[in-house]
Amino acid sequence: MSEVVPEPRQKPTVPAKPTCANISMGSQLLGYVGIDTIIEQMRKKTMKTGFDFNIMVVGQSGLGKSTLVNTLFKSQVSRKSSSWNREEKIPKTVEIKAVNHVIEEGGVKMKLTVIDTPGFGDQINNENCCDPIEKYINEQYEKFLKEEVNIARKKRIPDTRVHCCMYFISPTGHSLRPLDVEFMRHLSKVVNIIPVIAKSDTMTVEEKHDFKQRVRKELEFNGIEFYPQKEFDEDMEDKAENDKIREMMPFAVVGSDKEYQVNGKRVLGRKTPWGVVEVENLNHCEFGLLRDFLIRSHLQDLKEVTHNIHYETYRAKRLNDNGGLPPVNNPDSEEQHESNL
Amino acid sequence: MAATEIARQAGEGVRSLPLSGHVGFDSMPDQLVNKSVSHGFCFNILCVGETGLGKSTLMDTLFNTKFEGEPNSHSQPGVQLKSNSYELQESSVRLKLTVVNTVGFGDQINKEESYKPIVEFIDAQFEAYLQEELKIKRTLHNYHDTRIHTCLYFIAPTGHSLKSLDLVTMKKLDSKVNIIPIIAKSDAISKSELTKFKIKITSELVSNGVQIYQFPTDDETVAEINSTMNAHLPFAVIGSTEEVKIGNKMMKARQYPWGTVQVENESHCDFVKLREMLIRVNMEDLREQTHTRHYELYRRCKLEEMGFKDTDPDSKPFSLQETYEAKRNEFMGELQKKEEEMRQMFVQRVKEKEAELKEAEKELHEKFDRLKKLHQEEKKKLEDKKKVLDDEVNSFKQRKTAAELLQSQAQQAGGSQTLKREKERKNSGFL
C-alpha cells in the first residue's frame, strides 16, 4: 500500500521551478523538466573524485621558482634551494624532482604535483638542457597511453602528465637569452608553456613594460606559441578573453612567503630599505593576475588542452611510428620485445 | 567528507598540506561544469516494450514536450529500432536527447529473434565509440556519444507475472545497458494487485539473475532517496499529454467516466518518482555507469576477440604494437597483391586492345591496297581508251593533211583560174 510519500525534493541545490515555458531550439518544453540539475549532479561527482594538477617549473637557479610556487599555493609545496649549502655539488645534469601534495579548499581536494628542474641552465655547456625535461614529459604521456591501451582498464587512470610548464625568464631588461628561446621553442609543442618574468621587482614600471614588449616580439618572431595558444581558441568569446590575457603576458611577478605589516594589514611582501613590495598589489607586480589566470579561471582549460591536444598529438605520433619508440623503455620490456621477434 | 579517490590514490609519500590563505582552486568544479555546459550534454534512452504500451506518450510526458511521430502499426515483420533526436534547452543547459523506440517488439508470432536487433543496436553504438577511440587521429571530446545510457523496459500490466519474452530480453540486455523496468499503463491495475505484481516481478528478476539498475547509494546526499526508491522498483507509471482541469489547475491526467487519474499525483502512480530518479538525480550516474561498466566490458571482450592480449604489464603496448604491425603488414601485403593483380589485368587488357587495333589496321591496309588496285585498273583502262582515241585522232589528222596535200597538188596542176573561181565560190559560199 503506497501512501503519499513526502516528495523527496533536494532543497538548496535544485533551482526553483520556473512557471513559464522554456523555449528551446528544436522542441518546446512545456514546463520544467529538471534537465539543468545535471550540472549539480556533475559537480557533486567531480567533487567526490577530486582533481589532480601537475605543474613544472623551469628556470635557472636563483630565479625564485620555489618561492613563487609556494606563494601561488599558499603553502610550503617546494623546499627552497636557498637552504642549500653552496659547497654541495651542483647537479651535473638537469634533474627532475617531482613532489606530491594533497591540498583541500572548500571541499575540493586537489593532488598537486610540483616538478622541479634543478640544474637547468646552470652548467657551462647547456646544450642538452631540454632533453631530460622533454624525456620526462614524454614519459608521462607514455605512461598514460599504456594505461589507456590496456584491455582491462582502471576506472580512473592516474594523470601524471604535465599540465603546465612555467618558464622563468630572468629580468635582464634586454631580451630573451638563446637558452630561453631554444627551450621554449622545443617545448611549446609538447606542453603548455607559461612564460613568467621572475624577480620583477628589479625593474621599474617603464623597464617592465619595454621588456615585456620585447619578449613578446621575440616569442612571436621565433614562432613560440605559449599558453593560451591562439590556435586553440574555440569561439569568439574565448578569443576575446584570451587575447586580453595574451596582451599581458608574460606576467612580471614577485614571490614571497613572508608577511609584513603595511597600512595596518598583514600582506605578503618583500621588505627593502626603500619600501615593501607587496605581492598581491597589482600596482607592484602581476602576481595576482597570474594566480587568477592560472588557478581561478584556466586550471581546467590547461588540463583539457593537455589531454585533448598535446596528449593526442603524442598518441597519434606514437601509434603511427609503430616501432620508432622514443627512448622510454625499461630494460625488461626491451628484452621481451627482442625475444618476441 | 569521506575519503575520496584522490586520497586513496595518493598513497604513501604524499603530504597533506594546510593552506595559509585562499588559493582559489575551489572554483575547479565550476570551471569543469562551465566547460561541460558550453559543450552540451547528450543522453540516449532506449524504450523497449510491446507495441501499444504507451512508450512514446511516456517520453512526451517525461520531457514535457511533444515529440513528433504517429503510433506504429502492429503488423511489422520484425523488430526494428527507430531513433529520434531532439535538442532540449533549459536555462543554460543544452541536452541532446535521443529516444530509440523498438517498433514491432512482441508482435510477431515467433518471438525468438526479437531481442537480437536490440542487442545488435546497442553493440553497434559501442562499436562506433570503440572505433573512434582506437583511431590514430581521434576527436573524442567532440564525439557525439550515441551509446545507450539507459533502457526503460515496459512491462505489460497483466497483474500476474513477467512474460517469458520479457525475461529473455532483459537477461540478454542486463550486461549491456542500465535497465530500469517500468510497469506501463498502470491505471489498469488496482492498488492491491499492484503491490503483489511488483513483488512478483522483483522476485522473478532476482531468481532469474537479471541485474537491473540500482540507484547508487554511496553518495550521502542522494543515498537516502536512492535507497527508498530502490525499494519501489519497478515504477508503475501512467503517461498522458492531455491536460485536465482539476480544482483550479491544469494538470496532466487521464479522464475516465469513473474518475480522473492524475499523472503527477504520487498516490496515483509512480511517475514523479521515475522523473526524479531518471532525470533529476541520476542522469549523470547513468552516463557514468554506461561508460565505465558496460562500455569497458564490451571493449574488453571485443579486444580479446580481436586477438589483443593483456598478459604481461610490460609487454602491453608492445604486443598491441606488434599486433598492429602484423595487421598492418598483412594489410600492406594484401594491398600489394591487389595492386599486382590490377596491374596484370591492365597489362592484359592493353595487349588485347593492341591486338584488336592491329587487326583493324591490317584490314584497313588491305582495303586500301584493294582500292588502289582497282583504281589503277580503271586508270589503265582509261589510258588505253585514251590511247585508242588519240590514235584515231592522229590517223584522222594524217588523212586530213594527206587529203589536203593531194587537193592542193591537184589544183596547182589544174590552173590558178579554177583555184580562184573555186576560191571565190568558196568565199561567196561562206558569205
pLDDT in tens, B260-286: 888 888 888 888 888 888 888 888 888
Question: Cβ contacts of residue B336 below 8 Å, gap of 6+?
Answer: none
Candidates A33, A107, A323; nearest CB to B63: A33
A298-302, B93-97, B354-358 — which one is most confidently predicted on average?
A: B354-358
Beta-carbon separation of B136 and A320 below 8 A: yes
User: Comparing C-alpha atoms, which of B34, B33, B138 is closest to residue A308?
Assistant: B138
| Phi/psi of residue A58, nearest 5 degrees | -130, 135
Place of cell 583560174: B417
Whether the predicted pLDDT of B417 surpasses 60: yes
**Rounded to 5 degrees, what angle do the CA atoms A223, A295, B30 make?**
115
Chains A–B, number of C-beta pairs less than 8 Å apart = 274
Candidates A7, A26, A30; nearest CB to B64: A30
pLDDT score, position A327: 30
Distance (Å, whole) CA A215 – CA A226: 12
List the single best residue of A3, A35, A241, A330 to mutate versus B (max B Cβ within 10 A): A35
DSSP string, A132-176: HHHHHHHHHHHHHHHHHH-SS--SS----S--EEEEEEP--SS--
List the single best residue of B64, B142, B269, B330 to mutate versus A (max A Cβ within 10 A): B64
Which of B 305-364 lie inside 8 A of A, CB atoms? 308-310, 312, 314-322, 324-325, 328
End-to-end C-alpha distance for chain B, whole angstroms: 153
Query: Cβ distance B3 to A85 under 8 Å?
Result: no
Q: How confident is the model at residue B368 (pLDDT cuts 50, 70, 90)?
A: very high
C-alpha cell at A22: 522554456
Whether the predicted pLDDT of B106 surpasses 50: yes
Distance (Å, whole) CA A26 – CA B87: 5
Mean pLDDT of B44-70: 81
pLDDT score, position A6: 39
Q: A210-215: which pairs have CB atoms within 8 A and are 24 or more residues apart?
A: A210/A173, A211/A171, A211/A172, A211/A173, A211/A174, A211/A252, A212/A250, A212/A252, A214/A174, A214/A175, A215/A169, A215/A175, A215/A176, A215/A250
Query: Cβ distance A169 to A216 under 8 Å?
Result: no
C-alpha cell at B357: 587495333
**Burial of residue A328 (number of CB atoms within 10 Å: 0-12, 13-18, 19+):** middle
Return the residue of B nearest to A100 by Cα: B14
Alpha helix (H) ranges present in B236-315?
271-275, 283-289, 296-306
B250: which chain A residues are within 8 Å (Cβ-Cβ)?
Answer: none
Query: Cβ distance A2 to B183 under 8 Å?
Result: no
Beta strand pairing call for A251-252 and A97-105? unpaired
Q: What percent of chain A has a predicted confidence (pLDDT) above 70?
A: 80
Q: What percent of chain A has a predicted confidence (pLDDT) above 90?
A: 4
pLDDT digits 0-9 by tens, B145-175: 889 999 999 988 887 888 888 888 888 888 8
Whether the predicted pLDDT of B9 surpasses 50: no
Candidates B87, B273, B318; nearest CB to A333: B318
Dihedral of the CA atoms A282, A283, A287, A293 (nearest 10)?
40
Return the residue of B nearest to A294 by Cα: B25
Is the CB of B130 inside 8 Å of chain A's CB atoms?
no
Whether the predicted pLDDT of B425 surpasses 60: yes
Is the CB of B292 inside 8 Å of chain A's CB atoms?
yes
Whether the predicted pLDDT of B336 surpasses 80: yes
pLDDT score, position B343: 94
Mean pLDDT of B313-328: 59
Is the CB of A1 inside 8 Å of chain B's CB atoms?
yes
Helix (H/G/I), strand (E/B), else coil: B99? strand
B34-48, B135-149, B345-359 — which one is most confidently predicted on average?
A: B345-359
Whether the predicted pLDDT of A3 surpasses 70: no
Q: What percent of chain B has a predicted confidence (pLDDT) above 90?
A: 19
Mean pLDDT of B340-349: 94
Question: In B21-32, which positions are buried (b, 16+ CB within 10 angstroms) versus exposed (e)?
Answer: eebbbbbbbbbb
Beta-carbon separation of A35 and B315 below 8 A: no
Beta-carbon separation of A75 and B232 below 8 A: no
B325: which chain A residues are within 8 Å (Cβ-Cβ)?
Answer: 322-323
Is the CB of B16 inside 8 Å of chain A's CB atoms?
yes
Q: A79-82: which pairs have CB atoms within 8 A and are 24 or more residues apart?
A: A81/A118
Distance (Å, whole) CA A94 – CA A183: 13
Return the residue of A nearest to B142 by Cα: A308
Distance (Å, whole) CA A311 – CA A145: 9
Give how far the C-alpha of residue B366 lies from the chain's centroid of Cα atoms, to the nearest Å.
Answer: 60
Amino acid at residue number B94: R
Question: Cβ contacts of residue B88 below 8 Å, gap of 6+?
Answer: A24, A26, A27, A29, A33, A35, B63, B65, B94, B95, B97
**Rounded to 5 degrees, what angle do the CA atoms A4, A9, A15 make?**
145
Is the CB of A155 inside 8 Å of chain B's CB atoms?
yes
Mean pLDDT of all residues belonging to chain B: 82
Mean pLDDT of A86-103: 73
Whether the predicted pLDDT of A66 surpasses 60: yes
Return the residue of A nearest to B305 by Cα: A151
Place of cell 507495441: B51
Amino acid at residue number A204: T
pLDDT score, position B64: 76
pLDDT digits 0-9 by tens, A187-214: 888 899 999 998 888 888 888 888 988 9
Return the residue of B nearest to A49 by Cα: B5
pLDDT digits 0-9 by tens, A272-314: 888 888 888 888 888 888 888 888 888 888 888 898 889 988 9
Beta-carbon separation of A46 and B28 below 8 A: yes
Give how far the C-alpha of residue B135 lies from the chain's centroid of Cα atoms, to the nearest Å.
Answer: 18
List the single best residue of A300, A305, A307, A310 to mutate versus B (max B Cβ within 10 A): A300
pLDDT score, position B271: 87
Whether the predicted pLDDT of B10 surpasses 70: no
Whether the predicted pLDDT of A132 surpasses 60: yes
Q: Is the pTM of this model over 0.80?
A: no
Whether the predicted pLDDT of B215 surpasses 80: yes
C-alpha cell at B34: 562551465
Range of lowest pLDDT (A122-131, A324-333, B139-148, B401-410) = A324-333
Which of A 105-144 lie inside 8 A of B, CB atoms? 105-111
Distance (Å, whole) CA B74 – CA B103: 9
Candidates A26, A299, A316; nearest CB to B86: A26
Q: Which helix (H) or strand (E) holds B49?
A: none
pLDDT score, position B317: 52
Q: How confident is the model at residue B363 (pLDDT cuts 50, 70, 90)?
A: very high
Beta-carbon separation of A43 and B29 below 8 A: yes
Candidates A50, A102, A333; nearest CB to B16: A102
Is the CB of A295 inside 8 Å of chain B's CB atoms?
yes
B242-to-A165, B66, B238, B254 alpha-carbon distances in Å: 60, 11, 12, 7
| Phi/psi of residue A25, nearest 5 degrees | -85, 125
Q: How confident is the model at residue B308 (pLDDT cuts 50, 70, 90)?
A: low
Is the CB of B36 inside 8 Å of chain A's CB atoms?
yes
A315: which chain B residues are within 8 Å (Cβ-Cβ)?
Answer: 136
Range of lowest pLDDT (A58-67, A261-270, A322-331, B373-382) = A322-331
pLDDT score, position A8: 38
Candidates B19, B29, B90; nearest CB to A35: B90
Return the residue of B nearest to A27 by Cα: B88
pLDDT score, position A317: 86
User: Comparing C-alpha atoms, which of A59, A193, A184 is closest to residue A119?
Assistant: A59
